[in-house]
């Protein structure tokens, strides 16, 4: 496992407190097609009042802005699919990481390091900023406060184990600590109509189920079709 100090390094947009891994840092993750199944899914309703700075002090983001961040995970394949929609913020983006849109590791009201960096949302022509796709690890963020990239060694199973210990956000030049932020919440599953022509199985099932064919259906239904991961009792 990674040293505790590396896992708890605070990174929340304060460039002066970070050592970057260099302007030529390559992206470790790879853009991939969605897998046929997922092991979990999460969402976050991001608002400006949730933002804190690198010292954990409330630092409101862009007034009136909001965002919906939805993630589907296949932890066995180390793939995360993202569907991000943000309203009311104005680029340019700004972050010491290689992008300005992240999943960080920290609880509500706390600051913590980015673990995954996503492509920044872009205007879809209506004024809404959107970003969607799938990334396959290993992940890098481009920041290394202790000489090790904050994404190194991170696995998606860590989100599944404790989603409330992670938040997602995006940073702009006007609000470098974060324009909006929201804690991850697991999307309910278990006998709930998915809106994609099927029904999610009971939580005790280990059946392999198909992926939802679009996050719009997932968000509308409040559920996702999952493949339950096998667990091993120690």
Q: What's the confidence (pLDDT) of residue 28?
A: 75
> Parallel, antiparallel, or unpaired for β 101-105 and 166-170?
antiparallel
φ, ψ dihedrals at 92, nearest 5°:
-80, 155
> Parallel, antiparallel, or unpaired for β 166-170 and 129-136?
unpaired
pLDDT of the chain along its 234 residues, tens only? 333 333 333 334 333 333 333 333 345 789 999 999 999 999 999 999 999 999 999 999 999 999 999 999 999 999 999 999 999 999 999 999 999 999 999 999 999 999 999 999 999 999 999 999 999 999 999 999 889 999 999 999 999 999 999 999 999 999 999 999 999 999 964 323 333 333 333 333 333 333 443 444 344 334 444 444 444 444
Provide the CATH number for the domain formed by 30-187 in this structure: 2.60.40
Q: Are 145 and 153 in contact (CB under 8 A)?
A: no
**179-198 core/surface letters (b: 16 or more CB in 10 A; e: else):** bbbbbbeebebeeeebbbee
Helix (H), strand (E), coil (C) string for 93-142: ECCCCCCCEEEEECCCCCCCCEEEEECCCEECCCCCEEEEEEEECCCCCC
């Amino acid at each position: 496992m990674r040293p505790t100090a590396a896992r708890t390094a605070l990174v929340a947009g304060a460039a002066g407190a970070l050592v970057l891994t260099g302007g030529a840092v390559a992206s470790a993750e790879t853009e991939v097609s969605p897998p046929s199944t997922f092991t979990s899914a999460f969402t976050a309703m991001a608002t400006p009042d949730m933002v804190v700075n690198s010292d954990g002090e409330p630092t409101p983001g862009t007034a009136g802005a909001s965002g919906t961040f939805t993630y589907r995970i296949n932890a066995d394949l180390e793939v995360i699919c993202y569907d991000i929609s943000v309203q009311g913020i104005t680029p340019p983006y700004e972050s010491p990481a290689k992008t300005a849109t992240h999943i960080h590791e920290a609880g509500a009201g706390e600051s913590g390091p980015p673990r995954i960096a996503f492509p920044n949302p872009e205007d879809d022509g209506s004024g809404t900023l959107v970003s969607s796709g799938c990334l396959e690890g290993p992940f890098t963020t481009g920041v290394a406060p202790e000489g090790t990239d904050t994404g190194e060694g991170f696995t998606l199973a860590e989100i599944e184990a404790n989603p409330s210990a992670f938040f997602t956000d995006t940073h702009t030049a006007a609000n470098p600590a974060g324009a909006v932020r929201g804690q991850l919440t697991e999307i309910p599953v278990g006998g709930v109509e998915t809106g994609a022509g099927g029904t999610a199985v009971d939580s005790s099932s280990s059946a392999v189920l198909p992926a939802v064919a679009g996050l719009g259906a997932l968000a509308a239904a409040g559920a996702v079709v999952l493949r339950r991961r096998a667990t091993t009792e120690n």
